Structure 1
Amino acid sequence: MADSAHSTLPLPDYDHLPIGSLESRVRSLSGDEVERLLSYERSHADRPAVTRLLGARLDQLHAGAEPTSGDPNALRPEAGQGAQGGSPVSPATSPEPHSPPPHGTPDQPGQPKANRT
């Protein structure tokens, strides 16, 4: 039964979407579609941030907001960047450290502490 509920959701891979992506993608959905997502969310993961987001979008639609044009599947930044995981920061893009760590680095070994007697 959970499979059929999941397969009828208006956003594919809904359960795996980060909240930032979800926020932009629900803007293209109708009120009925947002209500389906909200009902699914409440009966499954019930994540407070997601239920607030979906509830707020539903309120906007009831107040007269229109769904934006576009395909909710079109923007998938997580498919290009996040599919491999990890941070986009690399050694080439990270800043130089201000001072070496106390244990030293390969090119600058640590110095022993002064004699403590």
Structure 2
Amino acid sequence: MPEITPGRRGPQGTWNKGFRTGNTFIHVLRREIDHNRDNGTSLPAISVKQGDRNDRCHEVEILGNCKIVYRPHKPNKSQAGGARLWIETEPDVEIIRKYFRDTELDKNQPQGSS
């Protein structure tokens, strides 16, 4: 096995980072859904919060256990508005985020709906 010695120049190594310990929270952004409906847009309406990273996407696939939490009197303050309903997973559960363009919306619409 090669021995790795720290260098004096260049970027620091990104390997051997600590594992995440906090849960992952998935929120549905109601205001984005309303905005998309009113303006005919397709902005991502799902927020995936892992630690201090927050990604928005159109579709989420959860590869493991999760739970849906509804707390109307004790909202989750990790989101700006204080979400009352969210999906929560353990740190080691893999989350696959999916995105799509506006052109895919037109192809996926059922016949007879506008």
TM-score range, shorter chain: under 0.3
- TM-score, with structure 2 as normaliser: 0.25
Larger Rg: 1
Name the structure with the higher strand share.
2
More helix by share: 1
TM-score in terms of structure 1 length = 0.25
